[in-house]
Structure 1
Protein backbone atom coordinates (compact mmCIF):
# COMPACT_ATOMS: atom_id res chain seq x y z
CA UNK A 1 0.00 0.00 0.00
CA UNK A 2 2.85 2.37 0.86
CA UNK A 3 4.51 1.72 -2.55
CA UNK A 4 1.25 2.40 -4.36
CA UNK A 5 0.76 5.70 -2.51
CA UNK A 6 4.34 6.81 -3.27
CA UNK A 7 3.90 5.92 -6.95
CA UNK A 8 0.65 7.91 -7.18
CA UNK A 9 2.24 10.83 -5.29
CA UNK A 10 5.25 10.81 -7.69
CA UNK A 11 2.99 10.84 -10.74
CA UNK A 12 0.89 13.67 -9.34
CA UNK A 13 3.97 15.79 -8.57
CA UNK A 14 5.39 15.09 -12.05
CA UNK A 15 2.12 16.11 -13.73
CA UNK A 16 1.85 19.32 -11.69
CA UNK A 17 5.47 20.36 -12.34
CA UNK A 18 5.10 19.57 -16.06
CA UNK A 19 1.97 21.69 -16.27
CA UNK A 20 3.67 24.59 -14.46
CA UNK A 21 6.66 24.33 -16.82
CA UNK A 22 4.48 24.37 -19.93
CA UNK A 23 2.35 27.27 -18.74
CA UNK A 24 5.29 29.37 -17.54
CA UNK A 25 7.52 28.65 -20.54
CA UNK A 26 5.02 29.20 -23.32
CA UNK A 27 3.25 32.38 -22.33
CA UNK A 28 4.05 35.99 -23.04
CA UNK A 29 3.92 38.57 -20.30
CA UNK A 30 0.41 40.02 -20.47
CA UNK A 31 -1.11 36.85 -21.90
CA UNK A 32 -0.98 34.90 -25.11
CA UNK A 33 1.13 31.95 -26.11
CA UNK A 34 4.68 32.40 -27.34
CA UNK A 35 6.18 29.65 -29.49
CA UNK A 36 9.86 29.24 -28.67
CA UNK A 37 10.99 27.17 -31.60
CA UNK A 38 12.42 28.09 -34.96
CA UNK A 39 15.57 29.67 -36.27
CA UNK A 40 16.48 33.36 -36.29
CA UNK A 41 16.44 34.51 -39.88
CA UNK A 42 16.93 37.49 -42.14
CA UNK A 43 17.07 38.35 -45.81
CA UNK A 44 20.32 39.57 -47.37
CA UNK A 45 20.92 41.05 -50.81
CA UNK A 46 24.24 42.21 -52.27
CA UNK A 47 24.85 43.95 -55.60
CA UNK A 48 28.29 44.39 -57.04
CA UNK A 49 30.64 44.34 -59.98
CA UNK A 50 33.78 42.29 -60.55
CA UNK A 51 36.56 43.89 -62.61
CA UNK A 52 40.14 43.07 -63.58
CA UNK A 53 42.32 45.28 -61.36
CA UNK A 54 44.95 45.90 -64.08
CA UNK A 55 42.63 46.57 -67.04
CA UNK A 56 39.60 47.86 -65.09
CA UNK A 57 37.44 45.76 -67.46
CA UNK A 58 34.39 43.84 -66.20
CA UNK A 59 34.89 40.11 -65.76
CA UNK A 60 32.07 37.71 -66.75
CA UNK A 61 31.52 34.19 -65.40
CA UNK A 62 33.09 34.78 -61.98
CA UNK A 63 31.59 32.60 -59.25
CA UNK A 64 30.22 34.65 -56.33
CA UNK A 65 29.45 32.73 -53.13
CA UNK A 66 27.60 34.22 -50.19
CA UNK A 67 28.13 32.16 -47.05
CA UNK A 68 26.89 32.48 -43.50
CA UNK A 69 26.73 29.86 -40.72
CA UNK A 70 26.89 26.94 -43.13
CA UNK A 71 24.27 28.29 -45.52
CA UNK A 72 25.50 29.37 -48.92
CA UNK A 73 24.20 30.75 -52.18
CA UNK A 74 26.12 30.89 -55.47
CA UNK A 75 25.66 33.15 -58.49
CA UNK A 76 27.86 34.10 -61.47
CA UNK A 77 28.67 37.50 -62.90
CA UNK A 78 26.98 38.50 -66.14
CA UNK A 79 28.75 39.76 -69.29
CA UNK A 80 29.22 43.20 -67.68
CA UNK A 81 30.70 41.73 -64.49
CA UNK A 82 27.59 42.48 -62.42
CA UNK A 83 26.04 40.15 -59.88
CA UNK A 84 23.13 40.11 -57.45
CA UNK A 85 23.32 37.74 -54.53
CA UNK A 86 20.07 36.93 -52.68
CA UNK A 87 20.25 34.95 -49.47
CA UNK A 88 17.09 34.09 -47.60
CA UNK A 89 16.76 32.44 -44.24
CA UNK A 90 20.20 33.32 -42.95
CA UNK A 91 20.75 33.43 -39.21
CA UNK A 92 22.81 36.60 -38.83
CA UNK A 93 26.13 38.21 -39.48
CA UNK A 94 28.92 38.13 -40.56
CA UNK A 95 28.15 37.25 -44.17
CA UNK A 96 31.19 36.29 -46.23
CA UNK A 97 31.18 37.01 -49.96
CA UNK A 98 33.85 35.18 -51.95
CA UNK A 99 34.62 35.55 -55.65
CA UNK A 100 36.49 32.88 -57.62
CA UNK A 101 37.62 32.70 -61.23
CA UNK A 102 36.55 29.16 -62.10
CA UNK A 103 36.53 29.30 -65.90
CA UNK A 104 40.25 28.62 -66.33
CA UNK A 105 42.18 30.85 -68.70
CA UNK A 106 39.06 32.32 -70.36
CA UNK A 107 39.30 35.46 -68.17
CA UNK A 108 43.07 35.33 -67.87
CA UNK A 109 43.15 33.54 -64.47
CA UNK A 110 42.42 35.92 -61.63
CA UNK A 111 43.19 35.59 -57.91
CA UNK A 112 40.19 34.88 -55.65
CA UNK A 113 39.11 37.51 -53.14
CA UNK A 114 36.58 37.78 -50.32
CA UNK A 115 35.02 40.22 -47.90
CA UNK A 116 33.32 39.62 -44.57
CA UNK A 117 30.34 41.91 -44.00
CA UNK A 118 29.17 42.82 -40.52
CA UNK A 119 25.77 44.25 -39.68
CA UNK A 120 27.31 47.75 -39.62
CA UNK A 121 28.42 47.33 -43.27
CA UNK A 122 24.91 46.92 -44.66
CA UNK A 123 21.70 48.95 -44.79
CA UNK A 124 18.55 47.57 -43.19
CA UNK A 125 15.77 47.99 -45.75
CA UNK A 126 13.02 46.21 -43.81
CA UNK A 127 12.46 45.91 -40.07
CA UNK A 128 12.10 42.54 -38.40
CA UNK A 129 9.01 41.31 -36.60
CA UNK A 130 10.55 41.50 -33.12
CA UNK A 131 10.70 37.73 -32.86
CA UNK A 132 12.76 35.38 -35.03
CA UNK A 133 12.84 37.48 -38.22
CA UNK A 134 15.54 40.21 -38.13
CA UNK A 135 14.41 41.93 -41.34
CA UNK A 136 16.04 42.57 -44.71
CA UNK A 137 19.54 43.92 -45.31
CA UNK A 138 21.27 45.16 -48.46
CA UNK A 139 24.78 45.95 -49.63
CA UNK A 140 24.87 47.98 -52.88
CA UNK A 141 28.59 48.44 -53.52
CA UNK A 142 30.01 44.95 -52.94
CA UNK A 143 32.54 45.40 -55.77
CA UNK A 144 35.71 43.40 -56.35
CA UNK A 145 38.82 44.27 -58.40
CA UNK A 146 40.64 40.98 -58.97
CA UNK A 147 44.37 40.80 -59.57
CA UNK A 148 45.73 38.61 -62.36
CA UNK A 149 47.26 35.38 -61.10
CA UNK A 150 50.99 35.79 -61.88
CA UNK A 151 51.71 32.10 -61.20
CA UNK A 152 49.21 30.86 -63.77
CA UNK A 153 50.01 33.47 -66.41
CA UNK A 154 53.76 32.72 -66.13
CA UNK A 155 53.24 29.04 -67.03
Structure 2
Protein backbone atom coordinates (compact mmCIF):
# COMPACT_ATOMS: atom_id res chain seq x y z
CA UNK A 1 0.00 0.00 0.00
CA UNK A 2 2.77 2.41 0.98
CA UNK A 3 4.68 1.58 -2.19
CA UNK A 4 1.64 2.28 -4.37
CA UNK A 5 1.12 5.62 -2.54
CA UNK A 6 4.74 6.65 -3.26
CA UNK A 7 4.45 5.70 -6.94
CA UNK A 8 1.29 7.78 -7.37
CA UNK A 9 2.85 10.77 -5.60
CA UNK A 10 5.98 10.48 -7.72
CA UNK A 11 3.87 10.35 -10.90
CA UNK A 12 1.80 13.39 -9.85
CA UNK A 13 4.88 15.38 -8.84
CA UNK A 14 6.63 14.58 -12.16
CA UNK A 15 3.54 15.61 -14.11
CA UNK A 16 3.29 18.87 -12.17
CA UNK A 17 6.94 19.72 -12.80
CA UNK A 18 6.51 18.95 -16.50
CA UNK A 19 3.53 21.28 -16.80
CA UNK A 20 5.29 24.06 -14.91
CA UNK A 21 8.34 23.71 -17.11
CA UNK A 22 6.31 24.12 -20.30
CA UNK A 23 4.29 27.00 -18.92
CA UNK A 24 7.44 28.93 -18.01
CA UNK A 25 8.88 28.68 -21.51
CA UNK A 26 6.81 31.59 -22.87
CA UNK A 27 6.70 32.75 -26.47
CA UNK A 28 9.85 34.89 -26.47
CA UNK A 29 13.12 33.72 -27.99
CA UNK A 30 15.19 32.45 -25.09
CA UNK A 31 18.88 33.23 -24.88
CA UNK A 32 20.84 30.05 -24.23
CA UNK A 33 24.24 30.35 -22.69
CA UNK A 34 26.18 27.23 -21.88
CA UNK A 35 29.31 26.88 -19.86
CA UNK A 36 30.75 28.35 -16.75
CA UNK A 37 31.76 31.97 -16.14
CA UNK A 38 35.50 32.22 -16.58
CA UNK A 39 38.35 34.68 -16.53
CA UNK A 40 42.08 34.52 -17.18
CA UNK A 41 44.39 36.01 -14.56
CA UNK A 42 48.06 36.68 -15.27
CA UNK A 43 50.18 37.46 -12.23
CA UNK A 44 53.68 38.75 -12.84
CA UNK A 45 55.90 39.76 -10.02
CA UNK A 46 59.35 40.38 -8.72
CA UNK A 47 60.80 39.85 -5.26
CA UNK A 48 63.54 42.28 -4.26
CA UNK A 49 65.69 43.07 -1.24
CA UNK A 50 64.01 45.90 0.67
CA UNK A 51 67.25 47.85 1.20
CA UNK A 52 69.26 47.23 -1.96
CA UNK A 53 66.35 46.55 -4.36
CA UNK A 54 68.36 43.65 -5.78
CA UNK A 55 66.40 40.66 -7.12
CA UNK A 56 66.12 37.64 -4.82
CA UNK A 57 66.07 34.21 -6.52
CA UNK A 58 64.47 30.99 -5.21
CA UNK A 59 61.75 32.62 -3.11
CA UNK A 60 58.65 30.45 -2.74
CA UNK A 61 55.44 32.16 -3.85
CA UNK A 62 52.14 31.15 -2.25
CA UNK A 63 48.93 32.48 -3.81
CA UNK A 64 45.74 32.28 -1.77
CA UNK A 65 42.22 33.62 -1.70
CA UNK A 66 40.19 32.77 1.40
CA UNK A 67 36.91 33.91 -0.11
CA UNK A 68 37.39 31.88 -3.31
CA UNK A 69 38.93 28.79 -1.68
CA UNK A 70 42.20 29.06 -3.61
CA UNK A 71 45.59 27.98 -2.27
CA UNK A 72 48.40 27.45 -4.74
CA UNK A 73 51.83 26.39 -3.50
CA UNK A 74 52.76 24.17 -6.43
CA UNK A 75 56.32 24.88 -7.55
CA UNK A 76 56.02 28.64 -7.90
CA UNK A 77 59.42 30.15 -7.14
CA UNK A 78 61.27 33.20 -8.31
CA UNK A 79 63.83 32.70 -11.07
CA UNK A 80 67.43 34.03 -11.11
CA UNK A 81 66.12 37.56 -11.79
CA UNK A 82 63.72 37.34 -8.81
CA UNK A 83 60.70 37.14 -11.10
CA UNK A 84 57.70 34.84 -11.03
CA UNK A 85 54.70 34.36 -13.25
CA UNK A 86 51.46 32.46 -12.76
CA UNK A 87 48.35 32.21 -14.95
CA UNK A 88 44.93 31.03 -13.83
CA UNK A 89 41.95 30.19 -16.01
CA UNK A 90 39.09 29.93 -13.56
CA UNK A 91 35.75 31.10 -12.29
CA UNK A 92 35.88 34.89 -11.68
CA UNK A 93 37.27 35.73 -8.26
CA UNK A 94 35.04 37.52 -5.81
CA UNK A 95 37.78 38.43 -3.35
CA UNK A 96 41.40 39.53 -3.25
CA UNK A 97 44.43 37.36 -3.87
CA UNK A 98 47.11 37.27 -1.22
CA UNK A 99 50.60 36.76 -2.64
CA UNK A 100 53.03 35.50 0.00
CA UNK A 101 56.80 35.51 -0.58
CA UNK A 102 58.71 33.13 1.67
CA UNK A 103 62.45 32.47 1.77
CA UNK A 104 62.96 28.79 2.63
CA UNK A 105 66.59 29.54 3.54
CA UNK A 106 65.33 32.00 6.22
CA UNK A 107 67.59 34.84 5.02
CA UNK A 108 64.55 37.09 4.50
CA UNK A 109 61.36 37.67 6.48
CA UNK A 110 58.16 36.36 4.96
CA UNK A 111 55.90 39.10 3.59
CA UNK A 112 52.74 39.40 1.50
CA UNK A 113 50.75 41.76 -0.69
CA UNK A 114 47.05 41.90 -1.56
CA UNK A 115 45.98 42.04 -5.20
CA UNK A 116 42.41 42.90 -6.15
CA UNK A 117 40.66 42.49 -9.48
CA UNK A 118 37.72 44.53 -10.73
CA UNK A 119 35.52 43.58 -13.67
CA UNK A 120 36.72 46.76 -15.41
CA UNK A 121 40.32 45.39 -15.34
CA UNK A 122 39.46 42.69 -17.89
CA UNK A 123 39.77 43.00 -21.67
CA UNK A 124 38.72 40.81 -24.56
CA UNK A 125 35.78 39.12 -22.89
CA UNK A 126 32.34 38.51 -24.30
CA UNK A 127 30.71 40.55 -21.57
CA UNK A 128 28.69 37.57 -20.37
CA UNK A 129 30.26 34.28 -19.35
CA UNK A 130 33.81 35.13 -20.38
CA UNK A 131 35.19 38.14 -18.54
CA UNK A 132 38.37 38.12 -20.66
CA UNK A 133 41.84 38.44 -19.22
CA UNK A 134 43.82 40.75 -17.03
CA UNK A 135 47.45 41.11 -15.96
CA UNK A 136 48.68 42.41 -12.63
CA UNK A 137 52.34 43.19 -12.03
CA UNK A 138 53.57 43.43 -8.46
CA UNK A 139 56.81 43.88 -6.57
CA UNK A 140 57.32 42.35 -3.15
CA UNK A 141 60.17 43.86 -1.09
CA UNK A 142 61.59 41.53 1.58
CA UNK A 143 63.56 42.60 4.62
CA UNK A 144 66.52 40.54 5.80
CA UNK A 145 66.20 38.58 8.99
CA UNK A 146 68.02 39.90 12.06
CA UNK A 147 70.75 37.25 11.81
CA UNK A 148 71.66 38.48 8.31
CA UNK A 149 71.56 42.19 9.17
CA UNK A 150 74.53 41.91 11.56
TM above 0.5: yes
Equivalent pairs counted in the alignment come to: 141
Find the aligned partners of 1:66 and 1:88 in 2 and give their Cα distance: 14
SS of corresponding position for 1:119: coil
- 1:124: which partner in 2? 122
- Say if 1:94 and 1:119, in contact at 8 Å, map to a contact too: yes
Correspondence for 1:43 among 32, 40, 43: 40
Find the aligned partners of 1:96 and 1:144 in 2 and give their Cα distance: 12
- Say if 1:123 and 1:139, in contact at 8 Å, map to a contact too: no
Find the aligned partners of 1:121 and 1:34 in 2 and give their Cα distance: 20
- Say if 2:50 and 2:141, in contact at 8 Å, map to a contact too: yes
Find the aligned partners of 2:11 and 2:24 in 1 and give their Cα distance: 20
TM-superposition CA deviations, 1:40-59 (whole Å, max 9, x none): 43221111211101122110
User: Are 2:143 and 1:147 equivalent residues in the alignment?
Assistant: yes
Correspondence for 2:108 among 98, 107, 110: 110
TM-superposition CA deviations, 1:118-137 (whole Å, max 9, x none): 22498323325513x43322
RMSD over aligned CA atoms reads 3.4
Q: TM-score if structure 1 supplies the norm length?
A: 0.70
Gaps of at least 5 residues in structure 2 are none
- CA drift at 1:18: 2.0
- Say if 2:123 and 2:131, in contact at 8 Å, map to a contact too: no
- CA drift at 1:154: 7.1
Alignment of 1:60-71 (within 5 A): 60-68=57-65, 69-71=68-70
- 2:132: which partner in 1? 135
- 1:55: which partner in 2? 52
CA 1:70–1:148: 2 relative to 1, 3 Å: same
CA 1:90–1:77: 2 relative to 1, 3 Å: farther
Gaps of at least 5 residues in structure 1 are none
Find the aligned partners of 2:72 and 2:18 in 1 and give their Cα distance: 43
